[in-house]
Amino acid sequence: MGKSNKIILTSSTKNLAKVRDFVGEQAAESGFDDSTINQIILSVDEACTNIIKHAHKYDENETIEVETSFEKGEFKIILKYKGKAFDPNGINNPNMKEYFSSFKVGGLGVPIMKKFMTKIEFDTKNSDTNLLTLIKIIHGLLHISLMEYNDPVRKQLELNSLIEFSQLISSKLDLKYILNNILLSTMGKMLISKGMMLIRIDAKKEDGLFVIESLKGLDQHLAGTEVKAIFPKLAVFDSTELDNGYSYLTDLGLHHFFKVYFQNKLLGVLCLGKKLNNTSLSNSEVVSIETMLNISASAIENTIRFNEVKSLNADLNNRVRQLKSLFELSKEFNSSIIDKDSIIKVLSFTLLGNFGIKDFIIFSRGKDDKFSLIKDSRKISAEEISPNEVFPLQSTSDKMKKTIRISDFTESEFFPNFTKQVSSL
C-alpha cells in the first residue's frame, strides 16, 4: 500500500512556498533525485498558480487540497479545488518563435507541466469540484520505492546489482572495456558528469607515474597522457587534500578520488567530478564506490598481467622470426650467392619482410677505405650524395663498428654532410 499525505491551504500565492516544501519532501521520500524533484515542484507550483489566478480569481476564501501518493513507481499529486475548471490538456503549447519575437511574459506554465510530468489527468468529481492530477513515474535501475521494502530486501537488491556488475567486468580481458564500465556504472549511479581512470605505470620505472586510460565527460585527447602525481596516503580523498601542484586535476572539474588496490598494491586512481546537484557524496555512496572498485581490482590486475604476457609473447615471436630470417639469410650468403646483385636482392627482401623497410641506401666500403653507392630505393635517391665526402675516413673508423641512428645525433656530432643531405631528400 502506497503512502498518502495531504494538506489544505487557502487559495493565496503566499502559500505557494508551503506547497513547494510539502511536495518536495514527499517526492524525496519517494526516491526521486534532486533534479527530478525540482521539476515536480516547478510543475505543481505552476498548476497551483493557475488555479489561484484563473479558477479562484485570487479569492482567499477558496481552498486548494494537495494530496500525494506513491505506489508501484508512480508518484501522484492530486490538486482538489472548486470553481472554474482548468484542464491543462485542453491548452495547446505556444509557438515559441512567435512567443519570444512578441516579447510576451508568462503563459508557459502549462508547457512546463507537460514537459516535466509523465502524465496529467483532469476530472470533475461533482458539479463544482475539480481534480487535477500530476503524475511522475520514477525511472532508473529500480522502479521501486525503497520505503516499501525492509532492509534485508534492499540489501539483496544491492547485492544482486553488484553480482551483475562483477560478471560484466569479468567477461573480457580488455582494460578499456573494464574501466569504461566502472566509470559508467559509478557516474550513472551517483549522477556525476565527469570521470577519469588513472592506471599506475610500472613502479620500477618511476614512482607516482600514471597514464590516463579512460575518461568520460572530458576531452578524449587526454587519453594516453602520462601524469606524474604523488597522492595522499588516504584511500579516499577530495581535491581539498591535494597539493597545489595538482591544480590541473581540479581544473578539469575532478573533486573525488578513490584509490584502487589489489593485495595492497596500488593499481590506479578513480577520479570523479562533483554530483550534478552539487552535494557531497554520502557515507553509503562512498562505501558503494569502494565496493565496486574492490570487485573490479582483480579484473584490472588480471587484465594488466595478461596484456604484459601478450606483449612479451609478441616480442618473443618477433625475435624468433628475426632469428629465423637471419639464419636463412646466412645460409643463402654461404651457399650459392656470390654476385653482388643477388646479395642486395636478398637483403632488400629481408628488410622489407621483417622490418617493413622499403626506403634505404647501401654504401660499400672498399679496400682503399673509400665508399661507393651500390643501392638506393625508389623513394630515396642518392645521386646528389658524395659518399667519400659524407663519410670522411677520420670520422668513420670507430662510428661504423656499431649500429647507429643518425636522427639521434646533431649535425655537428656525426657525419654532418650526410645528415644534411639525407634530410633534404
What the block records as the C-alpha cell of 61 is: 476564501
Q: Which residue has the higher pLDDT, 292 or 340?
A: 292
The per-residue pLDDT for 77 is 94
CATH architecture of 149-307: 2-Layer Sandwich (3.30)
H helices within 171-282, ranges in order? 175-190, 247-251
The angle formed by the CA atoms of residues 253, 254 and 260, to the nearest 5 degrees, is: 165
Phi, psi of 263 (to 5 degrees): 50, 55
pTM, two decimal places: 0.47
Q: Report the pLDDT averaged over residues 103-124.
A: 73
Pick from 50-59, 136-145, 339-348, 368-377 the range whose average pLDDT is largest.
50-59
pLDDT tier at 277, thresholds 50, 70, 90: confident
pLDDT digits (tens, 9 = 90+) for 360-387: 777 777 777 676 677 766 566 555 556 6
pLDDT tier at 403, thresholds 50, 70, 90: low
How far apart are alpha carbons 414 and 397 in whole angstroms?
12
Q: Backbone dihedral region of 104: left (phi > 0), alpha (psi from -120 to 50 degrees) or beta?
A: beta
The per-residue pLDDT for 23 is 93
Do 3-137 and 149-307 share a fold?
Answer: no
In the chain, where the domains are located: 3-137, 149-307, 323-423
CATH architecture of 3-137: 2-Layer Sandwich (3.30)
pLDDT digits (tens, 9 = 90+) for 182-203: 998 888 888 899 999 999 987 5
pLDDT tier at 248, thresholds 50, 70, 90: confident
How far apart are alpha carbons 81 and 86 in whole angstroms?
10
> In this structure, how many other beta carbons lie within 10 angstroms of the beta carbon of residue 398?
8
